[in-house]
Amino acid sequence: MKKLAVVAFGGNALIRGNEKGTIQQQEKNAYATCESVLGLIKNDFNVVITHGNGPQVGNILLRNEAGYNVYKIPKMPLDICVADSQGGIGYMIERQMRNVINHNKMRRNVVTLVTQVLVDIEDPAFKDPSKPIGPFYLKEEADLLAKANDWQFREDPRKRGWRRVVASPKPMDVMNKKIVKDLVKKGHIVIAAGGGGVPIFKHKNNYLEAIEAVIDKDLASALLAEEIGADNFYILTDIPKVCINFNKPNQKELDVITVDEAKKYLDAGEFAAGSMKPKILAAIEFVENGGGETIITEASQLHNKDCGTRIIK
């Protein structure tokens, strides 16, 4: 039996550094990230790919505003924008994954699933928006946009600017997890739960209501990994290893840590909200609920079996 890995692409899998995010840049980055995933496939893993959508869904919302202001095109709600980003990003990753596979003369099917994820309508996250989406702004720009659109902004932990924040409820269940599990067991590469999934709420009569929010992609990916019985959960980011005392003279990389150690670092405030904190929470969630180990690393390190920071029981 092959092992099963869920690989969560971070934002830099498509848009890096100070890039504008043109389609040419995103496709080039997607190809490079998919090349890295090939290392897992060659090491006898079946693979499910998930991805973020922070910059992309923010841009979709900006196009919403521009289209309405100039042409009076009706605005689409946030759940539709998330679904739009799932389709577009999933298509991009799927096509580049096929290109990588073809280039390496391998045979694998690749499929993208637009994925809905259940949330709780009473989740306290709706009263405390925290999920950053869209581009970075100067403080003055953010203040103007907040006043004009009734948006909320927070400063980036790395001081790169100010970003809009929206509600980020906890994922409760991935709707098509059984389909994902069936497909990946047959050796297909599956792209699912993009952008954390489209958030929905199920009423007692089973009616599914759309919810305006963006689910954290790492938490949704951890849940999916748990629900399909993954052995390993990879969270790809823009640094090779997790650090404590980040950006300080005594910064230290972490190699292997236990769940208990990770919790101690969390309690000590070592990991910033909207940055490394949700990744560590997702890592803990997966391992505590039966997963083998979580690996947080840079995509280019996937060829190395001992890459990244590894969170174990």
Q: So which residues are the catalytic ones?
A: 11-12, 131, 217, 279
Separation of alpha carbons 48 and 188, rounded Å: 9
How would you class 302 by CB atoms within 10 Å of its CB: exposed for 0-12, middle for 13-18, buried for 19 or more?
A: buried
3-state secondary structure of 143: helix
Sheet holding 198-202, edge to edge: 173-174, 116-118, 198-202, 208-210
Handedness of CA 102, 104, 109, 115 (dihedral sign): negative
CB 122 within 8 A of CB 113: no
Place of tokens 């990991």: 271
Smallest Cα–Cα separation from 294: which of 3, 6, 1? 6
Separation of alpha carbons 306 and 255, rounded Å: 9
CB 245 within 8 A of CB 270: yes
Q: Is 153 left (phi over 0), alpha (psi -120 to 50) or beta?
A: beta
Separation of alpha carbons 201 and 242, rounded Å: 34
Written as one letter, the residue type at 117 is V
For residue 68, the surrounding DSSP H or E stretch is helix 54-71
